[in-house]
Amino acid sequence: MLKPPPLRNDCFALPAGVDWTPVADALALLRERLHPVTATESVPLAEALDRILAEDAIARRSNPPQANSAVDGYGFAGPVAEGAHVLPLARGRAAAGVPFDGVVPPGEAIRILTGAALPAGVDTVVLEEDVTVDQDRIAFRGPLKKGANARAAGEDVAAGAIALRAGRRLTPADLALLAAVGIGAVPVRERLRVAVISTGDELAEPGQPADPGKIYDANRPMLLGLIRRMGFEPRDMGRVEDDREALRARLDHAAEEADVILTSGGASAGDEDHVSALLRESGAMQQWRIAIKPGRPLALAMWNGRPVFGLPGNPVAAMVCTLVFAYPAMALMAGMGWHEPQGFDLPAAFEKRKKPGRREYLRARIRNGRVEVFHSEGSGRISGLSWATGLVELDDGERHIRPGDPVRFIPWSGFGL
C-alpha cells in the first residue's frame, strides 16, 4: 500500500540527505563572481543626490579657504595670560565676505564677526559676551590659548586632499562638502537597472477584482520600492502566469532591459515552479538550497549573462532575501563595493529557542533600548514588515535567547534603505 510519510513537527526541518548552503558561503560566491557593470558619466552637483561616486573627489579648494572666526567677538594676537586685560581697538571691523584690509598692530584688537577671515595680526578671538566695551577699548579676562575661537584654513579638508572616496552613495551632506571644496560636477556611475518579475497563476493586480483562490501581487510593488530606495533604477516587467515559455520570453526581455533580474515565486521544485526549472535547464543554476529562514527556497543563477535572484513567493521571505543577498550583490555591481549589513548588539526583550542549521532573521524593532520581535514568524504576515524597523539576525548555530541576552539588530538603514 502507498502510505504518506509521517508528519514533521517542524516544517522547516532540514530534509535528510540534503546539503544546504550556509548563508556565508552563498554571499562569498556572490562577492567572488560579481563585479561592477555600470558605466560612468559626469553630472552637475544638483543632480548627484543618491548617485554613486565613480572616482575619488579631490578638493579643489581648502575648507575653510582662510583662517576665520568661529564667533562674534574681538580678534587679536594670542595667547593671553590669566587675569584682567585691556586692549585698544583698531579702527574698522572684519565681517564674513567683507575682510579687513590692513594689519592689526600687536597689542590691539579689532571687531570681528562669525565667518570673517582673520586679519593679518589676528589669530585669537574672544567672545563678545566676555567683553566690556567703551568707545575705543575692550576689557576681558584670560586665559585664552592662541587660536581660541578661530578656525584654521583647511582644517576640515585641505586643497588637493580626497574629500570623498569612490563608491560612496552621495547624501545631501556630501553635496554640501563637495560644494564647499569647489566641486561643481562629479563623475558618477550610471544607475544599476534592476528588473522585477512576479510569477504565478494565483496572482491578481492590486486594486482589481480578484477571483476566489487569487491573491494580490504584494511582492512586485514592494521590490520595486526597495530598489528605488536603494538608489537603483527599477524596471517593472509585470506578472507572468505559470507558463514556461512565457516566462522564458520575459526573462529574455528582462536580460535586455536590465543588469539584474529579481523574480518572486516559482523558485521551489514543484510542478509549477518554472523559475527554478528554467534555470536548471539552462545550466545556469548556482545555488538554490540556502540555509536561511525565512527564505526557503532561493535561487541564485545567471540568465543571458545577468544575475537572477529567484526569490520566494511569500513577501516576508522575499524582502529578507532581497536585503541579505540581492542588496550587497547589487551594490557591488553598481560600483559601491560589497556592503556588509551594519547592525549593533542590544538586549533582547523576547525569549526564543533556535534550532541549529539555518541563519534566521526576525522582524524586530527597538523599544526602550531593548529589541522586541514580531509575534509571528510566518512568511505571509506582511503586517510584520510594516511593524518592524529592522531585523534581528541569529547565526546558524543552536541558541536559547532569554530576555536581556545580547542580539544583533540591523535597522533597515543597515541594508541601504
More confident residue, 213 or 55: 55
Q: What is the average pLDDT across 350-362?
A: 92
Query: What is the structure's pLDDT at 268?
Result: 54
State whether CATH 3.90.105.10 applies to domain 40-63+155-189.
yes
pTM score of the predicted model: 0.85
Q: End-to-end distance of the chain based on CA atoms, in angstroms?
A: 55
- Hey, what amino acid is at 164? L
Mean of pLDDT values over 110-129:
96
- Does domain 68-151 fall under CATH 1.10.3720.10? My reply is no
The pLDDT-based confidence of 200 (bands split at 50, 70, 90) is confident
Q: Is the pLDDT of residue 314 over 70?
A: yes
Give pLDDT, residue 274: 66
376 Cβ contact partners less than 8 Å away, ≥ 6 residues apart: 384
Q: Please report the pLDDT score of residue 12 as a whole number.
A: 45
pLDDT value, residue 289: 75
* C-beta of residue 390 within 8 angstroms of C-beta of residue 414: yes
Where does CATH 2.170.190.11 sit in the chain? 68-151
Residues of the chain with CATH 2.40.340.10: 344-415
Find the mean pLDDT for residues 69-98.
95
Question: pLDDT grade, residue 288 (50/70/90)?
Answer: low
| CATH code 3.40.980.10 region(s) in the chain | 21-38+191-334
* Average pLDDT of span 57-80: 96
**For the domain with range 21-38+191-334, which CATH number is right: 3.40.980.10, 3.40.50.300, 3.40.190.10, 3.40.50.450?**
3.40.980.10
Q: What is the location of CATH 3.90.105.10 in the chain? A: 40-63+155-189
How many residues are there in the chain? 417
Record: fold of 344-415: Beta-clip (2.40.340)
pLDDT digits (tens, 9 = 90+) for 365-381: 999 999 999 998 887 88
Residue 313 pLDDT: 86
Percent of the chain with pLDDT over 90: 69
